[in-house]
């Protein structure tokens, strides 16, 4: 799901570029979160998600027609790219083998960026000949926005804290989140702690330490609900998250975001959002996430809120 969240701005850019086209997402050798956990976000973005069909005859059968106007290859395995190129398409764009197999080439002197989402947005720009547009409110299910409004009613200044991460080594320690939440409460803000099922063991001790904090996903039943998490982020004045799927959900919500990195590279994995502050553990003398103290994060959030 993390990879699919990273690619979400690319999907949004494609829909902006092709507002009336039938937009297909193909996961030839596996499954896609766009047909699973992220499916509630896809109405209005993707028309169809095709999974586990291969890249040859199975894909042709799944497409139902051999004719495609634009085919954008987002992977880099040359064999797969050759199979995709054999499909009939008016315009084929692929970065595999440094664009040698692509029907559309980047401009002279182009250097592939390190940031994964920027590489994908470049593919969209080469396919359309126009700048990629990713801004705008993400359409969320009405049930998610209504539930978020009930969980975080208008009035207080909410600040979201995404506590976990897919790998605990990437997460900011819970003790730092406690320090930050206490500082936020002292400043008159309401800490909103975002904890998924993987952080279930942290809920009780954090709630005991932070009586002023809100735990909206637990109030909603504790399920991993992507649409609700994004809707909750949209009701906050700012958010803080490590390098994790929750951080990309906050970016999708449009909330001003402070993104914390340590063992991973923000030049490659930073969320795509215009209101982003990146803070690295290396700024404080180590690669471990515990090296990031709470006061600078509090200052960065206050600046974002201002």
Task: State the pLDDT at residue 222.
Answer: 82
Dihedral, CA of residue 42, residue 48, residue 49 and residue 51, to nearest 10 = 160
For residues 87 and 249, the model is more confident at 249
Cα→Cα distances 285→172, 173, 241, 290, 292, Å: 15, 17, 20, 11, 9
CA–CA separation, 11 vs 100, rounded Å? Answer: 24
Closest CA to 252 of 164, 157, 144: 144
- What φ, ψ does residue 190 adopt, rounded to 5°? -105, 115
Model confidence, pTM: 0.93
Q: Residue 57 is inside which H or E element, if any? A: helix 57-63
30-66, pLDDT tens digit by residue? 899 999 999 999 999 999 999 988 887 888 888 886 6
Domain residue ranges of the chain, discontinuous segments joined by +: 2-128, 142-305
From CA 242, how far away is CA 266, in angstroms rounded?
A: 10
Confidence band for 264, pLDDT divided at 50, 70 and 90: very high
- Please state, in angstroms and rounded to a whole number, the distance separating the CA atoms of residues 160 and 233: 7
Mean pLDDT of the chain: 94
- CATH homologous superfamily for 142-305? Glycogen Phosphorylase B; (3.40.50.2000)
């Amino acid at each position: 799901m993390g990879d699919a969240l990273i690619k979400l701005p690319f999907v949004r850019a494609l829909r902006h570029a092709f507002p009336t086209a039938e937009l297909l997402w193909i996961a030839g050798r596996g499954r896609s979160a766009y047909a699973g956990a992220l499916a509630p976000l896809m109405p209005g973005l993707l028309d169809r998600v095709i999974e586990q069909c291969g890249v040859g005859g199975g894909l042709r059968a799944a497409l139902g027609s051999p004719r495609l106007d634009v085919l954008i290859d987002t992977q880099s395995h040359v064999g797969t790219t050759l199979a995709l190129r054999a499909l009939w398409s008016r315009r084929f764009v692929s970065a595999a083998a440094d664009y040698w197999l692509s029907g559309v080439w980047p401009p002279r002197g182009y250097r592939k960026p390190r940031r994964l989402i920027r590489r994908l947005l470049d593919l969209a720009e080469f396919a359309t000949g126009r700048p990629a547009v990713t801004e705008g409110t993400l359409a969320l299910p009405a049930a998610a926005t209504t539930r978020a409004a009930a969980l975080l009613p208008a009035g207080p200044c909410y600040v979201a804290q995404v506590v976990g991460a897919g790998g605990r080594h990437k997460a900011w320690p819970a003790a730092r989140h406690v320090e930050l939440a206490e500082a936020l409460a002292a400043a008159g803000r309401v800490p909103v702690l975002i904890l998924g099922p993987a952080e279930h063991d942290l809920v009780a001790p954090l709630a005991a330490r932070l009586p002023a904090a809100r735990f909206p996903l637990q109030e909603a039943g504790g399920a991993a609900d992507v649409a609700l998490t994004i809707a909750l982020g949209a009701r906050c004045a700012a958010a803080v998250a490590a390098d994790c799927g929750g951080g990309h959900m906050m970016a999708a919500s449009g909330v001003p975001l402070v993104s914390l990195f340590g063992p991973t590279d923000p030049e490659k994995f930073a969320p795509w959002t215009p209101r982003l502050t990146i803070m690295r553990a290396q700024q404080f003398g180590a690669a471990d996430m515990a090296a990031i103290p709470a006061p600078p994060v509090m200052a960065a959030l206050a600046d974002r809120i201002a």
